[in-house]
Amino acid sequence: MNEKLRTIVERLVAVYSSRLADVALDFLAIGMKMFAERRASQASHYQVALGNLAIAVELMLKSYLSRKNFLSIFEGGSTEFRFMFSTPVELPADFNWRTHWETLRSNAIPTIGMDKAISAFYVFRPDLKPSLSPHARFLSTVRNASVHAILPSFQRYDLERTAFLALSFLRDMAGVQELELAWTRAPKEYAAILTEFESTRVEKVRKRIEAARTKCSRGLNLGSTEIPEGWEFYTTHCPVCANFALVQGYTQLDAVPGTDLTGAKLNFRAGLLFCGACELKLDDSEELRLAGASPIIDRTSDLGHWLWEEGLLED
**pLDDT tens digit sequence for 75-110:** 988 999 999 999 999 999 999 999 999 998 888 899
The pLDDT value given to residue 30:
94
pTM check: above 0.95: no
Between residues 311 and 72, the one the model is more confident about: 72
- CA nearest neighbour of 241 among 268, 271, 219: 219
Q: What band does 63 get if pLDDT is binned at 50, 70 and 90?
A: very high
Q: Is 168 exposed, middle or buried (0-12, 13-18, 19+ CB in 10 A)?
A: buried
**Per mean pLDDT, which range of 51-60, 81-90, 143-152, 251-260 is the poorest?**
143-152
3-state secondary structure of 208: helix
The yes-or-no verdict on residue 255 having pLDDT over 90 is no
Q: Which residues of 192-216 are buried (b: 16+ CB within 10 A; e: fewer)?
A: ebeeebeeebeebbeebbeebeebb
Instruction: Tell me the CA end-to-end span of the chain in Å, nearest whole number.
Output: 45
Residue 15 banded pLDDT, cuts 50, 70, 90: very high
CA 17/CA 144 separation, integer angstroms: 23
2 band by pLDDT with thresholds 50, 70 and 90: confident
Residue 221 pLDDT: 73
Which DSSP symbol is given to 277? Answer: T
pLDDT for residue 147 is more than 80: no
pLDDT tens profile 263-284: 788 999 998 999 988 999 998 8
Q: What is the pLDDT at residue 256?
A: 57
